[in-house]
Structure 1
Amino acid sequence: MSATAPHADPIRQYLETARTQIAKGELRQAAETLNKAQKKSPNDARVFMLAGLMAEKAGNVKGAFEALRKSVALAPTWGPGLLELALLLARQNQFQEAVETAEKVAKLEPKNLLVLAGVVDIAHRAGHAEMAVRHLRRGLELVPGDVQLRRLLAADLEGLGQHAEALDVWNGLIAQDPKDQQALLGRVKTLLAAGKPAQAAADTTTLLELAPGDSVYAYYSALAHGVTPPHQPVELNRHLFDGLAEVYDQHTVRGLRYQLPKIVADKILARYPDKHLNVLDLGCGTGLLGVCLGRIDGFLIGVDVSTKMIEQAHRHRVYDRFHTVNLLDALRETPGDIYEVITALDVFIYTGELGETIPNAHRILLPAGDFYFSCEAAPEEGADLVLQSNGRYAHKRSHVQALCRQAGFESVEIEDLTLRYEGGEPVQGFLVKARKAAA
């Protein structure tokens, strides 16, 4: 059904004006415009839908839900209202209802490409790759050959481990445009994930010819040629975590049962019950360590390459300052003897080689200070540093212990533990507490 009668629309101009005002952040003016529209049409679902978008932009999430649910109640089968409610649910990490509502909209408006785009976005936010693939295939029935839909489909297939199907899609895109960098890089990633690095080498050469000096392409080129890069490019991690920021806490804590911040915070507070200390949180992400520590009598400084993750951490109001920099640079440029505690939790799986990191952490710790960090465990009989097929580094325990000793740490305690769960399976690693000698 339509949310309004098919004859002359008395409030259309008001609605268009209000939508523009909301987009520009002119919320007071938008409210006045919507009030005028509601006086003319008191029970128009469109007015409440826009009121919901306005409330969310103003930071009033509760008001946004109330308005959007009112819109849906007034027009239960009106696609735009349902879609906006589903999108809000997804943005607020209420994924079960978001997915259910999105599926309802898709059935109501199966040929609406804007609805399709919203449904796919919700599927991605919710981590439902199978749902995304199903709707992307449906989209390609509506617009056969659409490049963006094919790229998204191939990436989702690769994420599901359906490498052969993903390669078929990438191959078709590259045949159509041999200089499609997104498709070339997608095929490289799929071949690497499928355990066929040698077959990816030619594509990495093409990518570097198209964009000489690109650090991400150089990184994948090294992998394709059998070389383990000592570090991952900052740009790669920034892109990854910017995309995860809004769903990171729910995904890691609830979905992956990630408890490291709580474990380490408890250890810190056991030593400093008065909370009188300065802490440097490397790779602070969304601020989970800060949440577990609470406000401290000192400085809590967060460092992360992702602006979006820091925006989430800032909301907790427990950090005193943030630096959006590579943690290697942060350590290198920090003066000595400042912090009682430095933490790096679930960070070195992305940064790699620790030969420079550990000595710099020792340098900037105060005497008797502690450096807490975690690593995924590499086999003791293998290399000191291993880049796994999932794109994360694993470190050999004995090598990490030796690096800490060489850096001058007086004591090194290593605790084996499960870092998180993925696909229901435990990810094994270890937590290190390296203590600097007292003065």
Structure 2
Amino acid sequence: MSATATDPNLKHLTKAREQIAKGDLKNAALTLNKAIALWPQDARVYMLGGLLAEKAGNVKGAFEALRKSVALAPAWGPGLLELALLLARQNQFKEAVETAEKVAALEPKNLQVLAGVIDIAHRAGHTEMAVRHLRRGLELVPGDVALRRLLARDLSEQGHHEESMALWDALLEQHPEDAQSLVGRVQACITAGKPAQAREDAAALLNLAPGDAVYQYYAQLTQGETPAQQPAALMLPLFDGMAEFYDVHMVRSLKYQLPKQVAEKIIARHPDKKINVLDLGCGTGLLGVCLGRLDGALIGVDLSMKMIEQAARHNVYDRFHTVNLHDALRETPDGLYQVIAALDVFIYAGDLTQAVSDAFRVLAPDGILIFSCEIADESGANLVLLPAGRYAHKRSHVEALCKAAGFDTVDVQETVLRHENHQPVHGFVVTAHKRA
């Protein structure tokens, strides 16, 4: 007897899944209606209905359908997993993690479930959970290269450097020219504060691709040099990967309040909001949300299109430019903006000499440049690249750059920028004024 004979809905479900994958949502809905007519209590129909609704932009409908699917089949793994993934995509991490753990317990040997649970753990910033399930995955498929790479990266992030390095060593012993593993071991050495140990790996990467900007950057680090800037190709995957959950992660998890504080400062200075504002490294638009609509122009600049897509949903920005901030400033005409803001972005920009000078030129008379930096020790170098991959700047050097660029007053306030691993990240906020 055929599967279709014993499961008359199978053909409709298979067809609907294919239609959803192709974006043919109207016909997918018609197909699912046929499936509901055949079997109104089929949890699979509601699961696919949830996927269809989300793809159509109806998040509320997606939740309703997926919760209906789970209510009809509480112990059915696929329905629970899709609900957990939707919760994670909508930044509802507490319930997402709880639901993911429930699915993992129900189907401990299902590799598709395992992949989904690990993805949810990473989205939620729950590295301990990810490590636990990655270890379980390696019990199911010993030697799996992708799982070993993920585990090595997560262990490095947790500070378990020896175990992370042992995993990278084993991977490279098997595949000495595997670029992903070479990069992984380089990053692990940098995170552990031992970049010199990765010199041979950096050289091997350059042998594979001599013109690669990221490999050149790593080579500089392993030689004890501080690169003036980070290559865009290194930062872009990081920001793209964070886009969907950046707002919740920064504000709730890292207690990031700078956009609110700076927006209040800007509005206090310009209560009528008749200003043009350039938001460098606008990300998902947190500053724009706090400013609201302006009686002028709010322009967002970010390297990541996925970040800009999130910022655009707030409907407060007038235009966006997908470009790095150095290029954006260099190509902007003189005297256009009353305010330029760069919050939590100069930590990736490196040497600020040209950026500060260009910002002065781009500002209108009486304009202000507001930006934040992580703080470097006054007794050390002007520019320090931290193991986490961010730049710290010496306060006195930044003040001198602003004065040299032509700003007449430079106000610097030390503050806690955000929290990471439950510890405050210290920095300072600069407000530099251009004479009227």
TM-score range, shorter chain: over 0.9
How far apart, CA to CA, are the structure 1 residues paired with 2:191 and 2:145?
22
Correspondent of 2:59 among 58, 61, 66: 61
Instruction: Deviation per CA, 1:319-362: give whole Å up to 9, x if none.
Output: 00000001000001111010000000011111110110001000
How far apart, CA to CA, are the structure 2 residues paired with 1:113 and 1:351?
40
Instruction: Deviation per CA, 1:41-61: give whole Å up to 9, x if none.
Output: 110000000000000001111
Matches within 5 A, 1:243-282: 243-282=241-280
2:39 is matched with: 41
Correspondent of 1:423 among 413, 421, 424: 421
Instruction: Deviation per CA, 1:37-95: give whole Å up to 9, x if none.
Output: 00001100000000000000011111100100000010111110010000001101111
How far apart, CA to CA, are the structure 1 residues paired with 2:304 and 2:214?
16
Correspondent of 2:351 among 347, 350, 353: 353
Q: Sort the Cα spacing of 1:13 and 1:236 in 2 relative to 1 into closer, same or farther, 3 A.
A: same
Alpha-carbon offset, residue 140 of structure 1: 1.1
2:195 is matched with: 197
The yes-or-no answer on 1:292 pairing with 2:290 is: yes
Alpha-carbon offset, residue 239 of structure 1: 1.1
The yes-or-no answer on 1:81 pairing with 2:69 is: no
The yes-or-no answer on 1:98 pairing with 2:96 is: yes
How far apart, CA to CA, are the structure 2 residues paired with 1:108 and 1:259?
40
**What's the TM-score once normalised by structure 1's chain length?**
0.98
Matches within 5 A, 1:250-399: 250-399=248-397
How far apart, CA to CA, are the structure 2 residues paired with 1:404 and 1:417?
19
Q: 2:347 is paired with a residue of what secondary structure?
A: helix
How far apart, CA to CA, are the structure 1 residues paired with 2:178 and 2:388?
24
Which amino acid is 1:10 matched to? P
How far apart, CA to CA, are the structure 2 residues paired with 1:73 and 1:16?
22
How far apart, CA to CA, are the structure 2 residues paired with 1:199 and 1:415?
37
Alpha-carbon offset, residue 7 of structure 1: 7.3
How far apart, CA to CA, are the structure 2 residues paired with 1:132 and 1:141?
14
Q: 1:414 is paired with a residue of what secondary structure?
A: strand
Alpha-carbon offset, residue 415 of structure 1: 1.0
1:31 is matched with: 29
Q: 1:190 is paired with a residue of what secondary structure?
A: helix
How far apart, CA to CA, are the structure 2 residues paired with 1:397 and 1:124?
34
- TM superposition outliers: structure 1 runs of 4+ over 6 Å: none
Give the conservation status (yes or no) of the 8 Å contact 2:4–2:10.
Answer: no
Which amino acid is 2:60 matched to? K
2:155 is matched with: 157
How far apart, CA to CA, are the structure 2 residues paired with 1:425 and 1:194?
18
Alpha-carbon offset, residue 195 of structure 1: 2.2
1:52 is matched with: 50
Instruction: Tell me the C-alpha RMSD between the 2 structures.
Output: 1.1
Which amino acid is 1:130 matched to? E
Correspondent of 1:20 among 13, 18, 36: 18
1:118 is matched with: 116
Give the conservation status (yes or no) of the 8 Å contact 2:4–2:11.
Answer: no
Q: 2:435 is paired with a residue of what secondary structure?
A: coil
Q: 1:123 is paired with a residue of what secondary structure?
A: helix
Which amino acid is 2:332 matched to? T
How far apart, CA to CA, are the structure 2 residues paired with 1:109 and 1:424?
33
Q: Which runs of 5+ in 2 are unaligned?
A: none
Alpha-carbon offset, residue 6 of structure 1: 11
How far apart, CA to CA, are the structure 2 residues paired with 1:289 and 1:44?
45
Matched positions, count: 434
Alpha-carbon offset, residue 199 of structure 1: 1.2
Which amino acid is 1:142 matched to? L
How far apart, CA to CA, are the structure 2 residues paired with 1:178 and 1:305?
33
Which amino acid is 1:321 matched to? R
Correspondent of 2:180 among 179, 182, 187: 182
How far apart, CA to CA, are the structure 1 residues paired with 2:218 and 2:331?
28
How far apart, CA to CA, are the structure 1 residues paired with 2:322 and 2:307?
10
How far apart, CA to CA, are the structure 2 residues paired with 1:243 and 1:175?
29
Identity %: 68
